[in-house]
Amino acid sequence: MSESAGVDADALAGRFAQMFAALAGNIERVVRGKREKVELALVCLLAEGHLLVEDVPGVGKTTLARAISASIEAEWARIQFTPDLLPSDITGVSIFNQGTSAFEFHPGPIFANLAVADEINRGSPKTQSALLEVMEERRVTVEGTPHPVPRPFMVIATQNPVDMDGTYPLPEAQLDRFLMRISMGYPDHQAEVALLAGAPTGAMLDTMPPVLGREDLARMIDFAQRLHVAPPLFDYLVRVVAATRAHADLRLGASPRAGIALLRAARVRAAAAGRSYIVPEDVKALAVPVIAHRLIVTPEAELRGRSGADVVAEALGSVPTPQAAGV
């Protein structure tokens, strides 16, 4: 790339960063004290990935989805997973129209820009698997007819890590389709006080002005995925992913899809920082939320309190960065 092209890319990256910051700031007006989580969710959105939020009820998972959709002029839908939820409740059904004497497809809630799959692990495996196609291929096939979902499209799934009775743990294939897994966590004291003292969240969401249009969002997504990646970083990224596969505490390491997801997310993070290139910090910052939920820890390691996040952190600590020599 020529130097002028580099300057242009830097300028565009700066513009990207401004828009990203405005978006994050707008969402933070209602999701207070969670800037880092908000940014991770936006990274996930701009990387065209899906987000798994593992947390207790009432910490703002739905609010986050609504705030994002409001900020980008997008539609959102909420799907409450229960054991008797059917796949067609998600994807939609074809109903015979007596007037036209033809079957008409009635799209389900999954056809929103942001679909919140609340307590996804309460749905039956059959219902959970209804999400596999749409999460990966961004379309729903009903009765042999594919129906594409709108762009942007993002599934924000939640699950309660405390109450596990009557739940169906997500299979590996399902987990692998989530770009990131995060935990919202409780707000800190000041944020919670401000939450109580401020206006009701619901009312604010209704009046929240959009920051970006869908077209702007699509351009940001396209720009981020064209960011330059230096060859040593590919090598570094593969080494990090590969380091999990040989780890003694794991029954299943990270898949190549994990590496692809990490690279997409790192590109967005770099652009959000105003850079037209990614650096090792981007990879390190996103490795745990992107990789950890895809790993399956051995029962012995689990008994010792080890988690996938620990393994990823170890991998990061053992793989040399492709930094200038001497670091």
Partner 1 sequence: MTRYASLAVTACLAAVAGLAFHRVFGVGPVAPVAAVAAVVPTVLSGLLSGPRKSGDPWPLWISLVLTVVAWAGTVTGTVLRPALADGTLPRALRDGVLSSWKAILTTLLPAPAEPEYLVLVSVVVWLAAFASAELALRTSLRAAPCVPALGGWAVALPLGVDGPGSNLPLAAAAVALTAVLVLLRADGPGADGPGAGVAWRPLAAGVPAAAVLGALAFAAGPVVPVGARPYDPREQVQAPPPQQRDGVSPLDRVGGWLLRPGEVMFTVRSGRPEQQRLAVLDRFDGVTWSSTARFVPTGSRVPEGPRPGERHEVEQHITIRDLPGVWVPAPDRPRRVEGLPVAVDPESGALAAGRPLRPGQAYRVTSVVPEWTAEDLAAAALATDAEARAALDLPWGPGATEPPVQIAEFRRFAEAATRGAGSPIEKAALLAEYLRRYAAYDVTAPPGHGYRQLDYFLSEGRRGTPEHFATAYALLARTIGLPSRVVVGFRGGQRAGDTVQVRSGDVLVWPEIKFEDLGWIRFNPLPDSGRRSKEDDSVAAGETEQKLEQAQKAAASQQRGEGPGQNAEKGPREPAAGGGSPTPWWVFTSVAAAVLVIGYVLAVLLAPALRKRRRRTGPPAARITGAWHQALDHLADVGLSTARTLTAHEVARFGASSVGADAHGHLGPLADLVNHSRFAASHPDPRAADRAWEHSDAVGRLVTARAGRVRRLRRRLHPRSLTGRSGGERRPPAGRRRVRSPGG
Half-sphere exposure of 263 (CA within 13 A, CB side): 21
Q: According to CB under 8 A, which one of 149, 233, 295, 301 is a site residue for partner 1?
A: 233
Using alpha carbons only, what angle is made at residue 6 by residues 227 and 322, rounded to the nearest 5 degrees? 55
Rounded to the nearest whole angstrom, what is the least distance from the CB of residue 268 to partner 1 in the complex?
Answer: 16
Q: Per CB under 8 A, does 277 bind partner 1?
A: yes
Q: Per CB under 8 A, does 244 bind partner 1?
A: no
Q: Per CB under 8 A, does 102 bind partner 1?
A: no
- Environment class of 61 (CB within 10 Å of its CB; exposed 0-12, middle 13-18, buried 19+): buried
Contacts of 34 (CB under 8 A, 6+ apart): 28, 60, 64, 184, 185, 187, 191
Radius of gyration of the chain (CA): 21
Of residues 307-326, those binding partner 1 (CB under 8 A): 310, 312-326
Q: According to CB under 8 A, which one of 92, 253, 280, 308 is a site residue for partner 1?
A: 280
Q: How many angstroms separate the CA atoms of 116 and 75, rounded?
A: 11
Which residue, 5 or 260, has its beta carbon nearer to partner 1? 5
Rounded to the nearest whole angstrom, what is the least distance from the CB of residue 2 to partner 1 in the complex?
Answer: 8
- Environment class of 80 (CB within 10 Å of its CB; exposed 0-12, middle 13-18, buried 19+): middle
Which residue, 54 or 314, has its beta carbon nearer to partner 1? 314
Which residue, 156 or 262, has its beta carbon nearer to partner 1? 262
Q: How many angstroms separate the CA atoms of 219 and 16, rounded?
A: 10
Q: Per CB under 8 A, does 17 bind partner 1?
A: no
Q: According to CB under 8 A, which one of 203, 230, 234, 245 is a site residue for partner 1?
A: 230
Applying CB under 8 A, which residues contact partner 1? 1-3, 5-7, 9-10, 228-230, 232-233, 275-281, 284, 310, 312-327
